[in-house]
Amino acid sequence: QQPVQSPQAVILREGEDAVINCSSSKALYSVHWYRQKHGEAPVFLMILLKGGEQKGHEKISASFNEKKQQSSLYLTASQLSYSGTYFCGTVSGGSNYKLTFGKGTLLTVNP
Amino acid sequence: NAGVTQTPKFQVLKTGQSMTLQCAQDMNHNSMYWYRQDPGMGLRLIYYSASEGTTDKGEVPNGYNVSRLNKREFSLRLESAAPSQTSVYFCASSLGGQSGNTIYFGEGSWLTVV
């Protein structure tokens, strides 16, 4: 079952902040965040693990609420290069390998 | 620095034809994945292979078969292509073993079924 992302789309001006949310109906072991530019492959941003460990991007932060099975990605002082579609992926249940993605959030940063 | 390599990049098929999408990774990864991407649907998992010798169904396996040929290669086969299988297909790989390993994607294969 796909995690649910919100909002579906957001438009920013350069320098503004944005938050993208991801929630699941299942207990989560980890949450993965990716960004995809049009016509390209998704690119890794961040992993949040059960227990609080994070690995990822120095200019992007995220939170993981294990009890609520939710994660949020925080984009601060957005740049034009932040434009793209953001996907959260979740690993849940008994499988450490099955990574399921949400439908994505389209972020547009304008000058 | 090849990473994950998919072939072909573009393919047009007629309904009912069969084809195989090839994927190879050179990162000594244990786990490999096939996703399809359709507008508004995000990335949906078709099949995955946690390790060499194992394969499991994802969210949308119907109409597809996979083969984990060896540790490097994981192929996706469409036995009788349908227009609903028109999509962009991504192969991916990761070290596996733990839920905290990064997944690396190939560049994608654009498939059109007419």
Q: Which tokens in the block code for residue B113? A: 């079924």
- Nearest-Cα residue of chain B relative to residue A42: B105
- The conformation of residue A71, written as its DSSP 8-state character, comes to E
| pLDDT per position as a tens digit, B51-72 | 898 999 999 999 999 999 999 9
C-alpha distance from B61 to closest chain A C-alpha (Å): 13
Judge whether residue B7 has pLDDT over 90.
Answer: yes
| Best residue of A90, A97, A98, A105 to probe chain B, by most B CBs closer than 10 Å | A97
* Residue/partner pairs of A51-58 with CB below 8 Å, 24 or more apart: A53/B100, A55/B100, A55/B102
Tell me which residue of B20, B15, B16, B49 sits closest to B32, measured CA to CA: B49
| pLDDT per position as a tens digit, A19-44 | 999 999 888 888 999 999 999 999 99
Judge whether residue B36 has pLDDT over 90.
Answer: yes
C-alpha distance from A100 to closest chain B C-alpha (Å): 6
| Higher per-residue pLDDT: B99 or B112 | B112
Phi, psi of A19 (to 5 degrees): -130, 130
Give the nearest partner residue to A87 out of B42, B58, B97, using CB atoms: B42
Judge whether residue A66 has pLDDT over 90.
Answer: no
| Higher per-residue pLDDT: B73 or A27 | B73
Judge whether residue A92 has pLDDT over 80.
Answer: no
Phi, psi of B87 (to 5 degrees): -175, 175
**Which pLDDT does position B96 carry in this prediction?**
75
- The mean predicted confidence, pLDDT, of chain A is 89
